[in-house]
Every structure is written in C-alpha cells, then in structure tokens.
Structure 1
Amino acid sequence: MEELQISEIEATFTALVNQWRKETCGISSIHQMSMHPAYQQIIGMGKPVIPLLLKELEKKSGHWFWALKSISREDPVPQEYRGKVKEMTKAWLEWGKQRGYRW
C-alpha cells in the first residue's frame, strides 16, 4: 500500500512539474513562476515531495528553492549565495543529505 502511495505521489509530482515547465517556459519572473498553480500544488503536496524536489534540483536545476523553503520552513542558503543558482543548489542538496533524504 505504501509503495502505491509513493508512486501516486511521484506520478502527480511529475505531471505537475511537466505542466509547470510547459506553461512557464517563456517567463523570466521567479515570482510569476512560483505563483503558477502547478507550482503551488507541488508545495501543497508537502514533505513527501521534498526528495522529489531535491532530485529535480540535482538533475535539472530549476527554480525549486521557493518550494523547498515553503515546505521545509528552512533556508540553508547563506546570504552571500543568494542569487547564485549553483551555490544555492549545492546548499539545498547538502541540507537534504544532512536530514537523511534520499533521491
């Protein structure tokens, strides 16, 4: 039963990510991208999607920092790394590993 729930969560997550990427591909505003309904639905899925977000961040980057911060209520990115995607990605991936997330 638990495996079924995980695959349903992954399927929903993947569908929302694909919708979000397709519908925001021409948008440069991070605010607009993160306010997109599909992005908001991903945030609404809560903690079960944290490993999926970390996996997306690792393989495709993307703007998942806002979602991770909203869901986890943490922000591991030091002030000097703000706006530097590579460093922000590294900080979030390290945060995930420290908390035992696997992706």
Structure 2
Amino acid sequence: ILANLADYLGLKGYTVDCAQDGLSGLHLAATEHYDLIVLDIMLPGIDGYTLCKRLREDARRDTPVIMLTARDQLDDRLQGFRSGADDYLLKPFA
C-alpha cells in the first residue's frame, strides 16, 4: 500500500518521502519538515506507537500524524490516539 499511496499523492502534486522502517522514519521526521506524516503501526525497528510518541516529544510535535493501519481493535485505536496521532484510518480502504 505504501507504493500505491506514494504514487497517488505524487500524481496529485505532493512531494512524498517514504521510510520502510521506524528508524528511517524517525530520521526523516527529525531532519525534514513535513506538512503531514502518514504512519503505520507495524513497522520494523520502532513500532508506529513509539515513533509517534517520540515525534510528539521532539520538535515535530505540531506536524499532524495519521495512523494508517490494519490494527482495528478499539484498544489499538486508543493507543494510537494516546501516542499522539491526530487521526486513525483503517486499511484496506477505498
């Protein structure tokens, strides 16, 4: 889904950076400025909950974060919002 979403946003004129794991995502977020971060929970290295928490603790605390994930339980959603996500979107989506 990462490649499809990146391609679609690119076609719509957005500049998109992608990270395949939590550590790479944290590095990108720490070194670049983004208008939005779309974050999966199940990332290798650092999971999305931890990554979002760390983003909120660092200088990027104002960047909106949308969690895009297959984790559909209420506890997952609550943990996402507690970690600092602004929205929580389940995949697959249409």
Same fold flag (TM > 0.5): no
Which protein has the bigger helix share?
Answer: 1
User: What is the TM-score when the length of structure 1 is the normalising length?
Assistant: 0.36
User: What is the TM-score when the length of structure 2 is the normalising length?
Assistant: 0.38
Which protein has the bigger strand share?
Answer: 2
